[in-house]
């Protein structure tokens, strides 16, 4: 810590000497410092006049309080002091946490590189050189320090009035340009924050829309499953109605014939050729056989009537389960009356008629 304090104090004294002559430096970093016989010397003091950008410009352009030449040198000195004390350069514009160093050095670094310091304003070069860290570790009696003081007293740096005025105008223009860049950086940061907020709100809105869409799709799936179930019921009802129409269409109309046994005779007898030259008449059926056939026919007609009525009701309920009109009711009554009259038909009640054929 003693060497850090000695070299740090010498750097501060060199900066104070340059600024006292009205010459801006602005290029302090570890590459522009040399140590000869324990004395610090600064290099490239002409870079500011030549327009070379500062080494730490990407860092201090982010902070609007660092806009003067002295503030730039103070900020650069903080980075150099941090690198000398820690052994590695600071890779950020501000220091977040400082460990493994004396409390006085920690306080000095925080007064330059902390977030609060760059927001409130940096100390001046005179305030830094009077810090108790240098008073504690770098007294004027330290070895080699008195020699450097004598060398600094013998140093002469003279500038004409025109040169000083020119340097002053150049410093003002550089500060104005730095302020404009800091404003643009600040606006860019604001735009980035707004875009992040907008993107977060957009993501929230998209997530809500996705949730609504998923909920709607689940509802549609449920409705589709219900419609599929209803479709199966309608298909079964349609198949029943198709079977009914096939059954009714396949039935032969009940006509009056001379022989009831023609429906129960073997197929070979019914399929006899009609084009034969000999007319063969079947013998008349006996009364017992005729009675049994008539009874079986009535039973079949009654069962067929029941099936037709049941299938018609099923079809009507499947197609229009809750709607019934007067026309359909009257049609059902007419059909049931017709079927009932057919079932109650009695051939024995017919009157015998003689023909002269």
Q: With contact defined as beta carbons under 8 Å apart, do 159 and 166 qualify?
A: no
Q: Which of residues 125, 158, 191 is at a domain's end?
A: 158
Same-domain pairing of 202 and 54? no
Collect contacts of 217-223 with beta carbons under 8 A, ≥24 apart.
Answer: none
For residues 60 and 34, state if they share a domain: yes
Q: Into how many domains does the chain fold?
A: 3
pLDDT score for 65: 86
Which residue, among 45, 41, 50, has the nearest Cα to 26 in the 3D structure?
45
Question: Residue 272 falls within a domain, yes or no?
Answer: no
Contacts of 156 (CB under 8 A, 6+ apart): none
- Shared domain for 43 and 183, answered yes or no, is no
Same domain, residue pair 131 and 237: no
Domain hosting 169: range is: 160-252
Task: Tell me the pLDDT of the chain (357 aa) as tens digits.
Answer: 888 889 999 999 999 998 888 888 888 999 989 999 888 889 988 888 888 888 988 888 888 888 888 899 999 999 999 999 888 888 888 988 888 788 888 889 999 999 888 888 899 999 999 988 888 877 654 444 445 655 555 667 777 788 888 888 888 888 888 888 888 888 888 888 888 777 777 777 788 888 888 888 888 888 777 777 666 655 555 555 554 455 444 444 444 444 433 444 444 334 344 444 444 455 555 555 555 666 777 777 777 777 777 766 656 665 554 444 555 566 677 888 888 777 777 777 777 777 775
If asked whether residues 244 and 292 sit together in one domain, one would say no
In a domain, 169, yes or no: yes
Which of 158, 174, 202 is the last residue in one of the domains?
A: 158
Strands 39-42 and 33-36: antiparallel
101 and 22 in a common domain: yes
Of 97, 127, 158, the one marking the end of a domain is 158
| In a domain? residue 279 | no
């Amino acid at each position: 810590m003693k060497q850090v304090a000695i070299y740090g104090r010498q750097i501060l004294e060199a900066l104070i000497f340059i600024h006292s002559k009205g010459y801006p430096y602005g290029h302090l970093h570890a590459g522009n410092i040399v140590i000869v016989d324990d004395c610090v010397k600064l290099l490239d003091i002409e870079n500011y006049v030549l327009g070379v950008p500062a080494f730490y410009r990407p860092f201090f352009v982010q902070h609007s309080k660092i806009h003067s030449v002295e503030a730039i040198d103070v900020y650069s000195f903080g980075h150099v002091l941090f690198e000398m004390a820690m052994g590695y350069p600071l890779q950020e514009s501000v220091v977040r946490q400082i460990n493994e160093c004396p409390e006085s050095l920690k306080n000095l670094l925080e007064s330059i590189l902390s977030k609060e310091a760059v927001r409130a304003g940096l100390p001046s070069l005179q305030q830094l050189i009077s810090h108790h860290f240098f008073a504690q570790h770098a007294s004027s009696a330290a070895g080699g320090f008195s020699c450097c003081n004598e060398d600094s007293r013998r140093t002469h740096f003279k500038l004409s009035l025109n040169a000083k005025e020119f340097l002053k105008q150049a410093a003002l223009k550089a500060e104005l340009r730095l302020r404009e860049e800091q404003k643009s950086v600040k606006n860019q940061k604001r735009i980035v924050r707004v875009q992040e907020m907008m993107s977060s709100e957009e993501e929230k809105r998209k997530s809500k829309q996705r949730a609504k869409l998923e909920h709607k799709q689940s509802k549609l799936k449920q409705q589709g499953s219900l419609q599929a179930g209803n479709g199966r019921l309608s298909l079964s009802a349609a198949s029943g109605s198709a079977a009914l129409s096939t059954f009714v269409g396949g039935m032969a109309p009940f006509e009056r014939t001379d022989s009831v046994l023609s429906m129960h005779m073997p197929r070979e007898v019914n399929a006899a050729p009609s084009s034969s030259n000999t007319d063969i008449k079947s013998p008349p059926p006996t009364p017992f056989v005729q009675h049994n056939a008539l009874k079986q026919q009535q039973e079949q007609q009654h069962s067929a009537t029941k099936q037709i009525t049941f299938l018609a009701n099923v079809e009507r309920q499947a197609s229009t389960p809750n709607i019934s009109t007067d026309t359909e009711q009257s049609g059902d009554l007419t059909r049931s009356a017709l079927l009932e009259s057919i079932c109650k038909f009695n051939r024995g009640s017919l009157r015998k008629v003689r023909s002269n054929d």
